[in-house]
Amino acid sequence: MSEQTVEKKVKKPLSPTQIIVASFLLVITVGGLLLCLPLSSRSGEFTPFLDALFTATSATCVTGLIVVDTYLHFSFFGQLVILCLIQIGGLGLITFVTFFSVAVGKKMRFKNMSLAQESISAPSVSGLPHLVRMVVKASLLIEGCGTLLLCLSFIPRYGFLQGLWTAFFLAVSAFCNAGFDILGHEGAYSSLIHYTGDPIVIGTISALIVIGGLGFLVWADLYGLRHTKKLRLHTKIVLFITALLILLGTLLFCVLEWNNPSTMGPLSVPEKLGAGLFQSISCRTAGFNSIDLNAMSGFTKLVASILMFIGAGPASTGGGIKVTTFAVIVMTILSFSSGRENTVILKRRIDHKTVYKALTISALALVVAFITSSVMFYSIPRSTFNTPINAIFEACSAFGTVGLSDGLTGEGNALTHIITMLTMFIGRVGPASLAISLASGRGGRKKNQVMPEGKVLVG
C-alpha cells in the first residue's frame, strides 16, 4: 500500500467551524429529548418529538418561532430547559466550555484557543482568555440588571416568585435576542401586546436587545475606549448601521401603521412612537412584538423582512447576514459606481476577500430565504394567508433568527416545520460557515490552484 493511500485513509481532525456546528446540533438534540419528557409539559404527557425538536432548535438558535405556547404548554422544568438552551445558544457552548476551563486555571492548548476564537469571532488568539471572561461575565451582569428592572413591573403584577421568574426569563431571552416569553397567561402567543404602554418593560427589553445585538467585539472596544481613545472601524460600522436601521425602521413603522385601527391606530401618540421604536428594534433579531403582526399591512411586513434579513452585528447573540455585511455590499456598490477599484468605508480600503465573503453570505442567505418562503407558500393552505409576503416574512424571521410570526408557523405541517428548523439552524451558524464545514476536506489542493484567466462580459 503506497504512502499516499495511507494518508488518504487517515481522517483529518474536525475544523473549528465543524466543531461549532456539531456543538449546536448536540445541544439541539439533547434539548429536544428533554422537552419530549412528560416532566417538561404541564399536562404530564409526552410532547410530540417534532414539536419538541422544533422548540429546542428555535431556542438554541435564539429565534423564538414556536408551534406551542411556551407558558401554556411547558411546565417550569420545560421552561427552564428552554431558558438554558437560549443561554447556551446565545453565547455558544464553546464559549461556556472555554470560560469554565479558564476559570479553573486549566491551560488551553492552541487548538482549543483557535476553537474559542472561531466561536466568538475574535480577531486573534491574543488576549482570548480575557475576552472570553469578559463576554460571559458581562452577559450575566447585563441579564441580572435587566432582571432587576423588569421585576419592578412584573412582581407587583404576579407576586414575587412568578414575577421574578418572568423577569429573569424575559431578560435572558431579550439579551440573547431569542424572542421567547412566558406571558401566555395574558393570552396565547400574545408576546408583549399587553405591555405597549409599560415603559419599564418595553424600555428594558429594547435596551437588552440592542446591547446583545451589538456583538462581543464591540463591547470590548467600547470598554477599552478610555485607554485606546479610538474605536475600530468594525465598531464604528456596527454602531452607525445599527442606529441608522433602528431610526429608519421606527420612521417607516410609524408612517405605515399610524392610522391602522388593528395595530397603532388606537394608541396615544407617545405609545405609537414607542411601538414603532420597539418593533424596529425587535426586527433586529429579537422576536418580541407589541402590536398585532398579522394585522400589519403587506408593505410594513416587507420593511420588517428587510430588517430581519440584515439582522444584528457579527459575534453577537443576533442573526441575519449582519450589519457589517450589509455595509460592505452597499459601499461596494457606491465605490464601484463612483469609479473606485476598491471598496472604501470611512476612508479605509476593504480587502477583496471581505467583499467576496459578504457577497457569498448574502447570496446564500437569499437562496435559503427563497427556498423556505416557497415551501411555505405552496405547502400551507391558502386560506391561512393571501399573498407571498406572509411567507417571505416568516422565512426572513427564521433565517434572521428573529422569531416574529404572523401565524404561518403554527399553521404549518411537518414539511414546513422541518424546513423552518433547517433555516433557523443555517441562520444561527451562518450560511458561509455551514457551507465551509460541509465542504471541508473536499477538493484538496485544487482549491487554491491557479487557473488561466478568462474574459466574461457582464452588465
pLDDT over 70 (residue 22): yes
* SS3 of residue 180 by DSSP: coil
Across the range 83-89, mean pLDDT stands at: 91
> Once rounded to an integer, what is the mean pLDDT over residues 308-316?
88
Cα–Cα distance measured from residue 27 to residue 292, given in angstroms and rounded to the nearest whole number: 32
- Cα angle 200, 410, 37 (rounded to 5 degrees) comes to 85
Phi, psi of 344, rounded to the nearest 5 degrees: -125, 130
- The whole-model pTM stands at 0.87
**Residue 249 above 90 pLDDT?**
yes
Are the CB atoms for 306 and 320 separated by under 8 Å?
A: no
Give percent of the chain above pLDDT 90. Answer: 47
- Could you tell me the three cell numbers for 182? 412566558
* 250 three-class SS: helix
Tens digits of per-residue pLDDT, 186-200? 877 888 888 888 899
Cα dihedral 204, 207, 213, 217 sign: negative
- What are the pLDDT digits (tens) for 40-71? 999 999 999 999 999 999 999 888 888 999 99
Please, what is the average pLDDT of the chain?
Answer: 84
121: alpha, beta or left? (left if phi > 0; alpha if psi -120 to 50): left
User: At which residue does the C-alpha cell 465605490 appear?
Assistant: 335
Q: What pLDDT, in 10s, does the model give residues 107-138?
A: 655 555 555 555 555 565 566 677 777 888 88
Residue 377 has pLDDT above 70, yes or no: yes
Sequential DSSP letters for 253-290? HHHHHTT-TTTTTTS-HHHHHHHHHHHHHHTTTT---S
